[in-house]
Amino acid sequence: MDFESRGAAQSPVQKMKIFLRYCANPGFQSGIAEELGCSQPTVSRIFYDVLERIVQQAGKFIRVANTENQIMQAKGKWLTRFRFPTAIGVIDCTHIRLDGKPAQFGDEYVNRKCFASINVQVTCDQNSVITSIDASWPGSVHDTRIWKNSAVCEIMKKTRNTILLGDSGYGIMSCLMTPYNDPHEEYQRVFNKLLTSERVVIEHTFGQVKRRFPILKYGCRLKLTSIPKVIIACAVLHNIAKQLRDEDVFT
C-alpha cells in the first residue's frame, strides 16, 4: 500500500508493523509505543490511518462470485477439493468479543452466551479465502436475520443452480443448502454427513483469522464504530496471506 513517508515520518513498513503489532497482540497503545520506539499518539494516529486505507481496499480482496463466468469457475474450484455439486462456498457467523458492553444499546450486543459481541457473517471458498463479510450486527441478532439482510444473499438469490452450504440454524433456500433437522432415512444421514464434512472449511477459516489476529479473539479495546473496520481489515489481510501462501494461515 502506498503510504507517504516525509522527513522523520514513519516508513510504510514501520506503519504496517505498528498496525500488525496491535492486531496481533492488542495491549495498551502506550506499551506498543514504548516497544517500537515512538509515542502513544503516533501509534494511535498510524493505527487508524492504516486501518482506513486497508478497509478502502476491501473490495479488491474480498469478492464473491457474481457473474456467470466467475460462478462456473467457483463451482469448478470447489469440486477440486470437495464433492457437493453446485456449491461455491460456505456461510456461517462468528462472534467477535467486545471489551465490555457498549454504553448505548448495550443489551443488543449481549449474545446467547452472555457476553458482548458483534455477530459477523462470513462466506469462504474451498481454500478458506473469505468471499464476503458483514460485521455490522450486534451479538444478539440471529444468524438468519443477518443472512436475509446481507448483500451476499441478494447476489445468491439471483443465481441459478448455485448454492452456499449452511448449518441447521439457517432455513433452506434455493441458494442455501442446510442439513436435515431430523434424519430418518439413510440417504438423509449420508447427505448430512457430507454437508457437515464440507462445512468444516468455514470453522478452519475462523480459526486461522483469529490465530493470526488475536484482537478478534480476546476483545477489542477500541471505540465501537472502529471495530467493524478492524474485522474487515483483518479479513483483507487474511486473504492477502492466503494469496502469498503464508504458512501460518495457509494450512
Beta-carbon neighbour count of residue 245 at 10 Å?
9
* Confidence (pLDDT) at 26: 65
Which residues partner with 148 through β-bridges?
A: none
- 33-59 residue pLDDT tens: 777 778 888 888 999 999 999 999 999
What are 71's three cell numbers? 460462478
What distance in Å separates the CA atoms of residue 130 and residue 94, rounded to the nearest whole number?
A: 13
CATH class of 60-250: alpha beta
Task: Please give the single-letter amino acid code of residue 108.
Answer: E
Contact in structure between 44 and 26 (CB atoms under 8 Å): no
- What's the rounded Cα separation, in Å, for the pair 71 and 243? 20
| Domain ranges for the chain | 12-56, 60-250
What confidence score (pLDDT) does residue 221 get? 81
Q: Which three cell numbers stand for residue 241?
A: 496471506
Give the model's pLDDT for residue 198: 97
pLDDT for the residue numbered 33 = 77
- Report how far residue 211's alpha carbon sits from residue 23's, in angstroms, rounded to the nearest whole number: 11
What is the C-alpha separation between 228 and 234, in angstroms, rounded?
10
Query: For position 7, what pLDDT does the model report?
Result: 38
Cell of 222: 477500541
pLDDT tens column, 189-205: 999 999 999 999 999 99
| Distance from C-alpha of 162 to C-alpha of 174, rounded to nearest angstrom | 8
pTM of the complete model:
0.91
In the prediction, which pLDDT does 248 show? 61
Which parts of the chain register pLDDT below 70?
A: 1-8, 26-28, 247-251
The b/e string for 174-193 (b: 16+ C-beta within 10 A; e otherwise) is ebbbbbeeeeeeeeeeebbe
Starting at the edge strand found earlier in the chain, the sheet holding 176-177 runs 130-138, 117-124, 87-97, 163-165, 176-177
* pLDDT (tens digit per residue) in 150-159: 999 999 999 9
Which secondary-structure segment (H or E) carries 219? none
| Chain CA centroid to CA 147, Å | 14
Q: What is the CA radius of gyration of the chain?
A: 20
* DSSP assigned state of 26: -
Q: Are strands 87-97 and 163-165 parallel, antiparallel or unpaired?
A: parallel
